[in-house]
Structure 1
Amino acid sequence: MSKPPRILVVDDDATARAVLAEVLMKAGYAVESAGGGAEAVEKGQRVPVDLVLTDIKMPDMDGMAVLKRFRELSPETPVILLTAFGAMESAIEAIKCGAYDYISKPFKKDDVLLTIGRALDQRRLLYENVHYRQALRDRYQFSNIIGSSQAMLEVYKLVARVADGRSTVLLHGESGTGKELIARAIHYNGPRANAPFVAVNCGALTESLLESELFGHEKGAFTGATAVKRGLFEEAGGGTILLDEVGDMSPALQAKLLRVLQEQEIRRVGGDKSIPVDVRVLASTHRDLWSMVRKQQFREDLYYRLNVVTITLPPLRDRRDDIPMLAYHFMQRCAAANQRPVVGISPDAMMILQQANWPGNVRELEHTIESAVVMTSHEIILPDDLPATLRESAPVAAAPEFPDLVTLEEMERRYLIRVLEETHGNKAQAAKILGIDRRTLYRMAERFGLNLAEG
């Protein structure tokens, strides 16, 4: 059961203080009381509070001083001031200095509870928003982008170079290669991370609908436009907008997008007023835009505006060394999300995954692993858990050839080495695949002269 919000009531009038405390406790709040401003600040340093309700007129330290100290001590804590009718100017000044609201004396119980409820709701939303954005920043850190192939290392370098700037970036690659993931990494590792990231698929909407989505519309601009609507460029203010599949945009919209990039302002559909916007633009496409320019299917001036920096994402078939790492990442995430006891992928299943063509790239691999995790009845994903089309397309593995017959112990040593390679040295996963505990795994490694030092 969650704890009730804690409210600090500050008033030098003991009777008024007691009445407020009783009202708040009956409403289910925890209450701390202070007979003056200095005591309130001292108590606020010792006891975390969710809201401060303070009188303005107090002899030792007035409510304005209490407000300023709490803005320093705990900026996220809302402060509500109690004021007599003659002190309205002070109350309005307090709002300018950061107070949430003020309540006039003599107050009504319902007014007090309503104002406190709104202030606490706003505090909760701000808290959730901060933590949500921090979770997004953590999720899209460079370290969470999977892949160590040379092709991906080049991508990481470019992302790191452009993240801190505001230049337009064009992300090019086949469908499913992770263009939006890289766009989010650019946003959440740059100075705009605390502002919105907005993505729109330019190929999924009709021209008129896309224009309204991007730029918004005025009331009455067209049938059904019953109210003013802010567009995504306005919604992304201070942040980043990703124009996914920008190559599918119509010539008319290309011209309007060019104007936005040049002028840093938009005009809503049906409006005649220019609205300035501060947005970083990222664009992605699977098309060859330069070829489209030569065929006069895409504006050359817009191409150069978008193509300040190009990051090309390699198809999965060109980064096969990353497949085991990606497969294990998707397996662990899906197993946790679905509460499935799947802990590994057999070497034969991994060989099929590494030899597949993956026309759908990383997205197809992710869906394949997700299906295998959900459908398997084992702790290890086996070849039979993979789609039949994938198994049938894999080349038949040749029988292993040895220069001479080897002992069972040598076969055991070779298999242990292969499992460790497939799991990238993950001892827990290797032990699960082998069907032994970690202590036995260490004894086996010691017997074969393999170093399993903790990494």
Structure 2
Amino acid sequence: MHSILILEDDITFSLMLATWLGKKGFQVDTIASVKEAKQRMEANTYDLLLSDLRLPDGDGIELLKWMNEKELSTPLIMMTSYAEIQTAVLAIKLGAFDYIAKPLHPEDLLEKMQEALKAPNTSTQPKEPDSPDKQTASLDGTYVLGKSPAAIQLYEHARLVAPTDISVLITGSSGTGKEHIARYIHENSNRRNAPFIAVDCGAIPKDLAASEFFGHIKGSFTGAIENKTGAFVAAQGGTIFLDEIGNLTYEIQIQLLRALQERKIKPIGTNQEITIDVRLLSATNENLRSAIDRGEFREDLYHRLNEFTIRIPDLKERKEDFMLFAALFLKQSNKELHKNILGFDPEASRLLESFSWPGNIRQLKNVIRYATLLATSPYITTKELPVEITESVSSPPISSSATLLRNEEHEREQILKALKEAGNNKSKAAQLLGIDRKTLYNKLKLYQLD
């Protein structure tokens, strides 16, 4: 299977292209900046690079020059909306295999790719999986690290604390991915080869909590029909993750504190003590300080749990990561539901990005699975989005010039609305309407809006 690296800052187009190439049998990675491209190509060998010309932190010509300096022989096909012959000639002189203008004709691109893949490639760099810190804005099968400032800080803190045995309290709203961060810490720790045991403290019946944590022997209480290994013993040598720690009863908090202090537990029904060696991670979406003030949570246990705090930001604080998450969940939903949806149409994208997402990443994942199931065209539209998304935006979008209704009164209202939203800035209003400034001035004159 040939490996392809796509360098494209248009996330929607990148996802569409990656999905199409995946169906053609290619292994595809996507990135969005020249900096990321250099990191990836230093760490991995790719059979082919598809690169946009214009990028947020440079251009494809700069990347070609860098590849020449590094003596990287990966064939590169340049993609661009700026189809200038001078740029094409320069790219090919610098070593680009070929050049293709947007909008791409898929079969033309595939033909050029097949030609490039037949060309000899003398690169001798070893191919290794990406390390997590080099996936800041890319997709893999399970998660997105992200490229927003909030995400960068989050994973920097996680990487710093991972190699230690410090107890970590992970805070954040429901649905932000607290268990994922706990697993990330475990997988980057010295205990990575030992078990990771997650316990949902909010789902344990009060009378069974001690058994869940410490285990029991057969016959120790009604319903104990066989021996049970508790979570602390199951996690021996590894990590135990206690989710929604604030739901524990006061009595269980006392038992948990004793186990952590003494590093020993005693299964129910026996006097035999078992020495435990576990790293403790816990999570909550509550304010434990307030619970302490109310007398509902022990302060000494809080300090035992909270040797280091990591706060996970809400999805609305990670705007730069939104389409990365959306693309990942669409990819997962396609696989799960045996669909081949390529992306989101402009209006669906606008609604998704403007929604507040009180349920955070979990809610986004559920919405995209729902929309993917309903979608019948290559792109998810507003018709497939749940009602809470479509009804959340109070004002209708401003239409583009291609979709402005012919009804003159409606068009006049659209122009007035654009002027109001733009603070009467005519250039900005023209951009909102998707027309040029000259056209807007003609419309203003036509409708006597000067």
1:233 corresponds in structure 2 to: 232
Structure 2 distance, partners of 1:378, 1:254, is 53
Equivalenced residue count is 273
Give SS of 2:192's match. Answer: coil
- TM-fit CA distance, 1:269: 1.2
Distance change (3 Å), C-alpha of 1:294 and 1:265: same
Q: For 1:293 and 1:324, how far apart are their aligned partners in 2? A: 39
Q: How does 1:5-404 map to 2 (within 5 A)?
A: 141=132, 143=135, 144-396=143-395, 397-398=397-398, 399=414, 403=427
CA-CA distance at 1:403 after TM superposition: 2.9
Write the distance in 2 (CA, Å) between the matches of 1:210 and 1:141: 35
Give structure 1 stretches of 5+ with no counterpart: 1-137, 413-455
Shift of the 217–404 alpha-carbon distance from structure 1 to 2, 3 Å rule, reads closer
1:113 maps to which residue?
none
Structure 1 CA distance for aligned equivalents of residues 365 and 130 of structure 2: 17
Moved more, 238-247 or 398-407: 398-407
Shift, 1:246, TM fit: 0.4
Measured after TM superposition, the shift of residue 194 of structure 1 is 1.3
Q: Does the 8 A contact of 1:141 with 1:189 survive in 2?
A: no
For the residues of structure 1 that align with 2:205 and 2:379, how far apart are their CA atoms?
45
In 2: Cα distance, 1:255 partner to 1:201 partner: 18
Superposition CA RMSD, Å: 2.3
Q: CA deviation at 1:219?
A: 2.3
- Shift in Å, 1:321: 2.8
Contact persistence 1:196–1:239 (CA under 8 A): yes
- For residue 164 of structure 2, what is the amino acid of its counterpart? G
> Using the alignment, how far apart are the partners of 1:251 and 1:155 within structure 2?
31
1:410-429, aligned counterparts within 5 Å?
none
Write the letter of the residue equivalent to 1:154. Q
Structure 1 contact 240–281 (Cα < 8 Å) conserved = yes
Q: Please tell me whether the aligned partners of residues 140 and 188 of structure 1 are also in contact (alpha carbons under 8 angstroms).
A: no
SS of corresponding position for 1:230: coil
Corresponding position of 1:62:
none
Which secondary structure does the structure 1 equivalent of 2:391 belong to?
helix
Matched residue SS, 2:283: strand
Letter in 2 for 1:179: K
CA-to-aligned-CA distance 1:356-406 (integer Å, 9 cap, x gap): 121111000000001111110011111111112211112423455653998
One-letter code of the match for 1:244? D
SS at match of 2:324: helix
What secondary structure sits across from 1:283 in the alignment?
strand
Distance change in 2, residues 1:140/1:369 (3 Å) = farther
Please report how far the alpha carbon of residue 336 of structure 1 lies from its aligned counterpart in structure 2 after TM superposition: 2.4
Q: 1:158 to 1:191 in 2, by over 3 A?
A: same
Where 1:403 maps in the other structure, the secondary structure is: helix
Structure 1 residue identity aligned to 2:350: M
Alpha carbons 1:355, 1:395 under 8 Å: kept: no
Assess if the C-alpha contact under 8 Å between 2:144 and 2:328 holds in 1.
Answer: no
Q: Tell me by how many angstroms 1:304 deviates.
A: 0.3
Distance in 2 (CA, whole Å) between partners of 1:208 and 1:366 is 34
Q: Structure 1 CA distance, aligned partners of 2:351 and 2:199?
A: 35
- Shift in alpha-carbon separation, 1:140–1:287, aligned structure 2, 3 A: farther
Identity of aligned residues (%): 39
Quick one: distance in 2 between partners of 1:384 and 1:364? Answer: 18
Q: Give the drift of 1:152.
A: 1.4
SS at match of 1:353: helix
The secondary structure found in structure 2 opposite 1:170 is: strand
Q: Once the 2 structures are TM-superposed, how far is the Cα of residue 270 of structure 1 from its aligned partner?
A: 1.8
Assess, with a 3 A threshold, how the Cα gap between structure 1 residues 140 and 212 changes in structure 2: closer, same or farther: farther
Q: Is the 8 A contact 1:293 1:300 kept in 2?
A: yes
More helix by share: 1
CA displacement at 1:164 relative to structure 2: 0.6
Matched residue SS, 1:393: coil
Q: Any idea what the Cα deviations from partners look like across 1:412-431, whole Å, max 9, x if unmatched?
A: 9xxxxxxxxxxxxxxxxxxx
Matched residues in 2 for 1:406 and 1:180: separation?
A: 46
- Decide whether the 8 Å contact of 1:215 with 1:267 is kept in 2: yes
Question: 2:144–2:324: 8 Å Cα contact kept in structure 1?
Answer: no
Instruction: Kindly indicate whether the alpha-carbon contact (under 8 Å) linking 2:144 and 2:325 is maintained by their aligned counterparts in 1.
Output: no
Whole-angstrom distance in 1 between the partners of 2:277 and 2:348: 49
In 2, the alpha carbon distance for the partners of 1:230 and 1:405 equals 66
> Partners in 2 of 1:296 and 1:139 — Cα distance?
47
Residues 140 and 185 of structure 1 are in contact (CA less than 8 Å); yes or no, is this contact kept in structure 2? no
What SS is found at the alignment partner of 1:258?
helix
Is the Cα contact below 8 Å between 1:265 and 1:275 reproduced in 2?
A: yes
Gap change, CA 1:334 and 1:355, over 3 Å in 2: same
Q: 1:312 Cα shift?
A: 0.6
